[in-house]
Structure 1
């Protein structure tokens, strides 16, 4: 739609680091990474291995990472910065990291703070249409764990509702 001036993506995500991003806390995506794009080999995925970037960005070809500036966009849109929110890399995956080994491998390779399932595609669509994009998520689970005590989806959704109200209350 031609009247769209930007996209603010709100949602829940898993945390890779409960000390920096505890369950229920808010994280602004400083970058979106798609770790599954490229040529898969024994040492992981090489995003440039197939030689087809996904887009051209202001800094050149976009392979598997889109850097974001959430603080700048929130200020431009006159939205309040969520109190206590951290900033960190978001990892978009097709399948949730269901084991500690998978979570550790993703941490070693990409240094993410959170894991989601759609952020990169939204960021890429905005990049392709030259639209500003920001993403804020509340932490609902610990990445790599399927244990019930490491999940707090209801609390994360409650925190997301509070965060959404807070974003739109500026001075």
Structure 2
């Protein structure tokens, strides 16, 4: 059995994780942006490892994220207690309807719209990152960019601390493979009106390197 598989969206995140790893043999691979490509690539990596007789003992979705102000501010490290498919659903005159409210059974959704982190893996990461903020991390295909959308997400997900684009996809791949899953993020910008000048990507990547020490 091999160690952890750490997947990021882009190479810069993978490089930041590798820079802080205590064990250079840990696999760290960029799998692409968005839940679909992240799920497909992670599933392939897990299947190849299992077929080779060297299955991974866990998979972590890692990278930068937007943080909900007052819950996870810029520079914070976040551990996802649950990864949520936050924009999978339908519009209606009454507002957004999550897809499970449209009559879709959980097995059609890879286990549901909210997939919890593995308790043991999450506990190990919390022990290594005692100051990290723990809460729901929302997975979206369209990054939130208005105050109205931010307020709507806050109302629908009062336990959400951050927003990213891959966690739920990786969680589905891990669940299908029977492999423990967790999500680790560092905050580069507040969720809300889009303002690239307010992003602190360099600081978030540096925080990701620091947090990677917990990935033992």
- The alpha carbon displacement at 1:51 in A equals 2.8
1:90–1:115 CA contact under 8 A, matched in 2: yes
Provide the C-alpha distance between the structure 2 equivalents of 1:9 and 1:46, rounded to a whole number of angstroms.
23
- The alpha carbon displacement at 1:69 in A equals 4.0
Moved more, 150-159 or 35-44: 35-44
What stretches of structure 2 of length at least 5 have no aligned partner?
1-48
Report the secondary structure of 2:91's partner residue.
Answer: strand
Provide the C-alpha distance between the structure 2 equivalents of 1:108 and 1:167, rounded to a whole number of angstroms.
33
Which string of whole-angstrom CA distances, capped at 9 and with x for unpartnered residues, describes residues 78-104 of structure 1?
885214101010110001101111111
- The alpha carbon displacement at 1:156 in A equals 0.2
Provide the C-alpha distance between the structure 2 equivalents of 1:122 and 1:53, rounded to a whole number of angstroms.
20
Does 1:9 pair with 2:56? no
Does 1:67 pair with 2:116? yes
1:80–1:167 CA contact under 8 A, matched in 2: no
Provide the C-alpha distance between the structure 1 equivalents of 2:112 and 2:99, rounded to a whole number of angstroms.
6
Provide the C-alpha distance between the structure 2 equivalents of 1:149 and 1:39, rounded to a whole number of angstroms.
32
**Structure 1's 53 and 83: CA in aligned 2 closer, same or farther, altered over 3 A?**
same
- Residue matched to 1:162: 210
- Residue matched to 1:113: 161
Q: How many residues end up aligned between the 2 structures?
A: 162
Which string of whole-angstrom CA distances, capped at 9 and with x for unpartnered residues, describes residues 90-119 of structure 1?
110001101111111011011211000010
Q: Which contiguous aligned blocks of 4+ residues in structure 1 show a shift greater than 4 angstroms? A: none
- Residue matched to 1:101: 148
What stretches of structure 1 of length at least 5 have no aligned partner?
none
Does 1:127 pair with 2:178? no
Q: Give the alignment partner of residue 97 of structure 2, picking from 38, 45, 51.
A: 45
- The alpha carbon displacement at 1:55 in A equals 3.0
CA-atom RMSD, angstroms? Answer: 2.4
**Structure 1's 69 and 86: CA in aligned 2 closer, same or farther, altered over 3 A?**
farther
Provide the C-alpha distance between the structure 2 equivalents of 1:95 and 1:162, rounded to a whole number of angstroms.
28
Provide the C-alpha distance between the structure 1 equivalents of 2:123 and 2:84, rounded to a whole number of angstroms.
24
Q: Point out which structure has higher relative CO (alpha carbons under 8 A, 6+ apart).
A: 1
- The alpha carbon displacement at 1:145 in A equals 2.6
